[in-house]
Amino acid sequence: MQYAGGAPPHHRSKSTGAPVIRSIQIKTAIFLALAIFTGASRAEEADSSAKPVAEAARLAGDAVRTRFVMDLVEPVDFAISTLADPYRVIIDLPETRFDFGEDAGKDGRGLVSAWRYGRFARGKSRIVLDAVEPVTVDKSFILPPVDDQPARLVLDLVKTTREAFLEGVSRPEASAHTVTKGDKLTAKQASSRPLIVIDPGHGGIDTGATGRGGTLEKQVALDFSSLLKRKLEETGRYDVEMTRDSDVFIPLKNRVEIARSLEADLFISVHADSVRVGKNEVRGASVYTLSEKASDAVAAELAERENRSDIIAGVHLEDEQSEVADILIDLARRETKKFSIFFARTLVDELKSAARVIKNPHRSAGFRVLEAHDMPSALVELGYLSNRLDEKLLTSDEWRERMSTSLVAAVDRFFRPRLVRNGAVSSAETAR
């Protein structure tokens, strides 16, 4: 299999002559996968008036007994569950509009160090309480509105032992985040155009990083990914899908499953993180690929933060089984790594002409979202919200236009041999 001078792996059509990387094929109904993972339709998004409304929430009590209270416009159904390592208490609700202040959940009290909230899946919202030590839910109930008092959801937590906590662990109900088996769309399977899956990082209850000016990473990633998708499609050379196109949470493993079920030829995860290492000094774009050992301290911190996404959203982390030890899978993983690195270096080259990049802009670490063995993958950090200058750029239309143009150029260079072979472009058009 060729590397820089050859075509990237192609999973959907044997007629092109492109090299093929395959393991056990996941047959997935694309209709259902996209409907499940990308969230509600526009009509559902617009119908916010039908959602329950939470107006405020607060903590009270001490390190022996702590009470969580949420004010509601009207009573709602709810479900309580717990997860260990770290200790978390999960409150699942119907999809709810949270009219909280910007600082809601940042300060803890008593047995709760912090809490967060947001949309978890279609029709479902979630609140996650981070416990400082093992707790048990002593009471949980809804108070109806009385006189000038609103309806309230009340949760009482008390200290317990680790043994008692583990005995009482009750995982949250399985969400809609599952891949449904079935037949693929024939049109997708027959297309000779490369299929690119763009993954806007974070979403829903997982806001990602927050800039000093209040900019949320999940929104930066979604806005940029939507622009990139449009620009790639406008070339007429690519089919493009996104793991989410609305403010919804998608577990890391399922982001990879979406792309693999679509048999993507390239997976691009989009982020705009913040770092503690170097803090203000770190700014500019960077590109990451998968490696067992982090290339540096910044890469290690970013991977650790990104890999905690499921924990933040209150998702139970199963003990994932390694893929069957197969020499073909191992060979595929090695070959895919070569293509991932080739794309990363190509992208860095294009980014340098469009925006500032960090020192040594191609780095690597153990990002869970990049673990597919049969799909070239890269994670793009557009910039760092921990830096005021980067935060300003990340919300600039002119800057996003330049950055998205550079990504399209990198994708064109990556797929150049295949585009020429398929007649999508001439060799002169793609020569550099």
Domain parsing of the chain, residue ranges: 14-28+179-430, 49-168
Q: Residue written as tokens 């600082």? A: 103
Encoded amino acid at 407, one letter: L
pLDDT in tens, 131-178: 999 999 999 999 999 988 999 999 999 999 999 999 888 766 544 444
pLDDT in tens, 334-369: 889 999 999 999 999 999 998 999 999 999 999 999
CATH of 14-28+179-430, one of 3.30.390.50, 3.40.440.10, 3.40.640.10, 3.40.630.40: 3.40.630.40
| Runs of H (alpha helix) within 274-396 | 297-307, 309-312, 327-352, 388-394
List, in order, residues 6 or more apart from 157 with CB less than 8 Å away.
Answer: 65, 66, 67, 68, 89, 110, 111, 112, 129, 131, 135, 136, 137, 138
CA–CA distance, 376 with 266 (Å, rounded to integer): 5
So what's the pLDDT on residue 36?
Answer: 44
Count how many Cα atoms sit within 13 Å of the Cα of residue 56 in the half-sphere of its side chain.
Answer: 5
pLDDT in tens, 289-325: 999 899 998 899 889 888 888 888 888 766 554 444 4
* Band of pLDDT at residue 183, cut at 50, 70 and 90: very low
Q: pTM (2 decimals)? A: 0.77
Which of 57-61, 147-151, 214-218, 332-336 shows the lowest mean pLDDT across its residues?
332-336
Count how many Cα atoms sit within 13 Å of the Cα of residue 161 in the half-sphere of its side chain.
Answer: 3
Q: Is the peptide bond before 86 cis (omega within 30 degrees of 0)?
A: yes
Q: Residue written as tokens 């990556």? A: 414
> Does residue 361 contact residue 286 with C-beta atoms inside 8 Å?
yes
Mean pLDDT of 55-63: 95
- Given a cut of 90, whether residue 129 has pLDDT beyond it is yes
> Does residue 127 contact residue 118 with C-beta atoms inside 8 Å?
no
- List the one residue out of 81, 184, 190, 193 whose CA is nearest residue 126: 81
CA–CA distance, 200 with 274 (Å, rounded to integer): 16
So what's the pLDDT on residue 34?
Answer: 45
Which of 88-92, 119-123, 198-202 shows the lowest mean pLDDT across its residues?
119-123
CATH code: domain 49-168 is: 2.60.40.3500
